[in-house]
Amino acid sequence: MRSVVSSGDERSIRSTVHPVPDRSRYPIGGPVDHRLQGQQCSGVLVQSSNGPRSQTVRRACKGNACMSVLETRATQRMASRLQSGEAGCEDVQSIINIAATAEAFAVTALGGAIDYAINGLLPLTDEAIQSLVAARATEQIHYDFLVAAGAEPLTLTFTIPDETILTDPATFFPTLIELEEVFIAAYIAAAQQFAILGEPDLAEIALQIGAVEAEHRVGVRFFAIEAGVLTGVPNDVAFEKALFATVAEAADLLTELGFIGGTGIVVEYPGPGVIDTTGLTQLEP
């Protein structure tokens, strides 16, 4: 199911690229190139009181004292942008390009994890694998929607900086939880940007997608608790973390953490395996 191409210390997991969808199927209130492309917004960015966080990258987890792979450095990033004057508003095209990139990464990374699990390299229960298959399908649907609306992903090549992410549940689950938190926060930032731009329909779609990412986070926490990697409850927050002032900060973080342009296992979108939408409903906004 997986073909691995060796290149030095790196390995590339490849499969046939998912076909580009028919853009007419997923209109976002009209073509994106008619909707404020390149136009800068003006307004006040609100920083949530429950974020961002200032943490370091770690690789160990025990019970509730979880030191995950993706504990972010969002506070320093935002402070730097504010001091340099870079923080502010983004245009629609930039936002959906970054969102499509994140969705492509999610499809690819989940494909690799599922493949490792099916081949016995990542010990997961059948129920956990089934949940990941469904989650991957939703990420593909999000990607298709964004591309159909005019998004152009910044890259379709990604890296897994440490193979233990794909082989060790104690690393895999916390990493995936933190990635979901990055995606949730990115869509919160997107919704805020769209609201400032006066685009309520786009803000609504950002929240629809972000809510699904939050469902993924809860699902991963459930299986992490079941596996003894975490303790507590799956649905452990009353408000999701607002980590970013701009969507670009999420892309910067993925790059900084080695998932874009890093070293290790090189993975090409869409990753191994097929997209399976079994059991999914509400396939369009």
Spatial separation of the C-alpha atoms in residues 52 and 139, rounded to whole Å? 24
Phi, psi of 66 (to 5 degrees): -90, 120
Q: What is the pTM of this model?
A: 0.78
Task: Give every CB contact of residue 119 below 8 A, 6+ residues apart in sequence.
Answer: 1, 2
Phi, psi of 7 (to 5 degrees): -150, 90
Whether 112 is in a domain gets the answer yes
Q: Provide mean pLDDT across the span 178-206.
A: 97
Contact 252, 94 (CB under 8 A): no
SS3 of 67, please?
strand
C-alpha Rg value of the chain to the nearest Å: 18
pLDDT value of position 35: 37
Residue-number span of the structural domain to which 115 is assigned:
50-268
Contact 96, 149 (CB under 8 A): yes
Strand partners of residue 157: 268
Please give the tally of structural domains in the chain. 1
Whether 57 is in a domain gets the answer yes
Whether 92 is in a domain gets the answer yes
Q: Angle, nearest 10°, between helix axes 248-256 and 169-196?
A: 160
Whether 107 is in a domain gets the answer yes
Residue 183 has pLDDT above 80, yes or no: yes
Of 169, 161, 157, the residue nearest 220 (C-alpha): 169
Residue 186 has pLDDT above 60, yes or no: yes
Whether 42 is in a domain gets the answer no
Whether 44 is in a domain gets the answer no
CATH code at position 247: 1.20.1260
Whether 277 is in a domain gets the answer no
pLDDT value of position 72: 39
pLDDT band at 89 (very low <50, low <70, confident <90, very high): confident
Residue 144 has pLDDT above 60, yes or no: yes
Burial label, 14 (beta-carbon count in 10 A; 0-12, 13-18, 19+): middle
Spatial separation of the C-alpha atoms in residues 265 and 2, rounded to whole Å? 13
pLDDT value of position 278: 97
pLDDT value of position 11: 37
Q: Provide mean pLDDT across the span 141-165.
A: 98
Whether 125 is in a domain gets the answer yes
Spatial separation of the C-alpha atoms in residues 250 and 189, rounded to whole Å? 9
Per-residue model confidence as pLDDT tens digits over 32-65: 433 334 444 544 443 433 433 333 233 333 434 3
Kindly state the percentage of the chain with pLDDT values over 70.
Answer: 69
Q: Which two tokens stand for residue 154?
A: 């910044």
pLDDT band at 81 (very low <50, low <70, confident <90, very high): low
Residue 134 has pLDDT above 60, yes or no: yes
Spatial separation of the C-alpha atoms in residues 251 and 60, rounded to whole Å? 24
Spatial separation of the C-alpha atoms in residues 110 and 105, rounded to whole Å? 8
Query: Please, what is the average pLDDT of the chain?
Result: 80
